[in-house]
Chains A and B, each alone.
Chain A
Amino acid sequence: MSYPANYQYTKEHEWVLVEGASGTIGITDHAQHELGDIVFVDLPKVGAKVTKGQTFGSVESVKAVSDIYSPVSGEVTEINEILSKTPEKLNEDPHGAAWLVKVKLTDGGEAKELMSAADYEKYVGTE
């Protein structure tokens, strides 16, 4: 699976798509592949504050639980409801339908410090 060029990436394997003042956050294809079959996604409530570099939820697979670190700071405006009933979607479409949360960004510039798709691909290639 290729990494969309319009997303920014973290070393902890999250992505963020910035559109104006809004950011959509998910985990990468590499992350879902490493985790294996995902059985549960724990997400914050709408209205919760997230901070860049801090955890806001977790993804549970049959073999492990992994924290999700926020790539940006902001306030959660929407959570992806399909993940509560069908967490396995995260294995199928991590860069698309299985986004995790949408946030109202505190600082639009924050995402620029993250990795580009090309940098991230290089990063996971060496990890």
Chain B
Amino acid sequence: MLATIGAKSEEDLISYLPPDVLFNRKLKIEDGKSEYEIVDYFKEAAAHNANGYASFLGAGVYNHYRPVLVDAVVSRGEFLTSYTPYQAEISQGTLTSIFEFQTMICQLTGMDVANASMYDGSSAVPEAAMMAVRVTRRDRVLVARTVHPEYREVLGTYTKHQGIPVEEIAFAKDGRLDLDDLNKRLTDQVATVIVQTPNFFGLLEQVKEIAALVQSKGALLGVVVTEAVALGLMEPPREADIIVGELQSFAISPSYGGPYVGIIATHDKYIRQIPGRLVGETVDADGKRAYCLTLATREQHIRREKATSNICTNQALLALMATVFMTVYGKQGLRELAEQNLAKAHYLAGKLPLAFDAPFFNEFVVRGNGRSPEEINGALLERKIIGGLPLGRFYPELKDCMLLCATEMSRRQDMDTLAAGFRKQ
């Protein structure tokens, strides 16, 4: 067959491809294996993965239970696309699910309007910043150092190319935003101040005080929530002008870092500056309830370079996972889930040397007391415990500290093992 088409070997068929894009060695699989033998090989290899370990990592990605109903719903053929449809109004089911998502996000955040979702929490932060720049017609951004370091990196990537200067606000001894430093940097050129609560160290920021200060200077307050389960218990940061966040906690697998789904929510008065897609409720020609994409003139297929954002889609499938999650738990269930997280994290924290003295949810920073976080983690791994995130990589001044997280998935015996491993010199 190869001879008929003038090729000497199978490799000849792809010889037109540039050599640097080719995988330049043979796969380490014996020749002549059947498909099911290869599948068996991988199953066996997978058994060598680190199964049976208890993880206490958080830092923006959380280990929560995924109700089985989630995959049952999202894998239905009608929903199994990640896209808002091109002829949107013909897909009433998809639009209904997005409208419910928006409604639930408003209930969760205490805001008036939420969009159909953002790509993820990190990219929602620069979208909030750019929105505040449009609303205030000012051009500087302040961001707390207690915002997730990788979110701040993403903010930097966007703002660098928009010509928006970004300054960071220090944190105080208690691990929360330093109000004096904020006051000092808050000029009348500042469009927005962005804080995170619970912050990267797991601590609740003083949103009310910060909001009063920021808004008295005519800037908008952007609040980031990376651990959405916290909203089941803590008062939503309603004082914010814009709330953005990550919903990975709501039934989305960690999946090595993504894809996830982000949110952005705000007050009615800023609706025309919100990025992305919005689903609205209306009536059709027969007067029956129907859903449609609305306020689309903000978007780049209409307003071109003056669009509020270059996001013209959403994370529909992942947003649906979060919607099913919220539906399964309900308001009371989410509260109980948050209470479990709080109780377990505080149980574990009670046994460890905390670095900061401020209220926290399900994450907290501990000091190594003479041992490096890497050393402690190494010792814990031997006990089948994946420890916390060493903070030196992001905060050189905290190189002796690690960030630990406990969720409803953390078992008491694992927490006791971790605490014992911490104490052992």
Contacts and interface: CB of A to CB of B under 8 A. Distances in A.
B138 to A, nearest CB: 12
B306 A42 contact: no
Interface string A24-63: 0000000000000000101001001000000000101000
Nearest to B273: A42
B272 interface: yes
A42 B297 contact: no
B371 interface: no
Given A40-B272, A42-B272, A64 B137 contact: no
A12 to B, nearest CB: 15
Interface string A65-89: 1010000000000000000000000
**Which label, helix, strand, loop or mixed, suits the secondary structure of the A interface?**
strand
B185 interface: no
Contact of B306 (A40, A45, A65): A65
Contacts of A48: 137
Nearest to A60: B297
A67 B302 CA distance: 12
Contacts of B303: 65
A58 B303 CA distance: 10
Interface string B383-425: 0000000000000000000000000000000000000000000
A67 B272 contact: no
Interface in B268-311: 272, 297, 302-303, 306
A45 B138 CA distance: 12
Contacts of A58: 306
Contacts of A45: 137
Interface residues of B, number: 6
Contacts of A60: 297
Interface in B303-358: 303, 306
Contacts of B272: 40, 42
B306 A64 contact: no
Contacts of B137: 45, 48
Contacts of A67: 306
B271 to A, nearest CB: 10
Nearest to B271: A40
A45 to B, nearest CB: 7
A42 B302 CA distance: 16
Contacts of A42: 272
B383 to A, nearest CB: 61
A109 B276 CA distance: 44
Interface in B116-149: 137
Nearest to A39: B297
Contacts of A64: 297, 302
- Scoring B137, B297, B302 by chain A CB atoms within 10 A of each residue's CB, the highest score goes to B297
A65 B301 CA distance: 11
Nearest to A61: B297
A48 B138 CA distance: 12
A75 to B, nearest CB: 15
A65 B299 CA distance: 10
Contacts of B297: 40, 60, 64-65
Interface in B11-48: none
A76 to B, nearest CB: 12
A85 to B, nearest CB: 13
Nearest to A40: B272
B200 to A, nearest CB: 36
A34 B252 CA distance: 47
Contacts of A40: 272, 297
A121 to B, nearest CB: 29
A111 B306 CA distance: 28
B303 to A, nearest CB: 5
A40 to B, nearest CB: 6
B301 to A, nearest CB: 11
Nearest to A48: B137
- Scoring A42, A45, A60 by chain B CB atoms within 10 A of each residue's CB, the highest score goes to A60
B10 to A, nearest CB: 55
Interface string B50-61: 000000000000
Nearest to A62: B297
A48 B136 CA distance: 12
B261 to A, nearest CB: 28
A1 B137 CA distance: 36
A65 B306 CA distance: 10
4 closest Cβ pairs, A-B complex: A65-B297, A60-B297, A65-B303, A65-B302
Given A40-B297, A45-B137, 4 more contacts: A58-B306, A60-B297, A64-B302, A65-B306
9 contacts: A40-B272, A40-B297, A45-B137, A48-B137, A60-B297, A64-B297, A64-B302, A65-B297, A65-B302
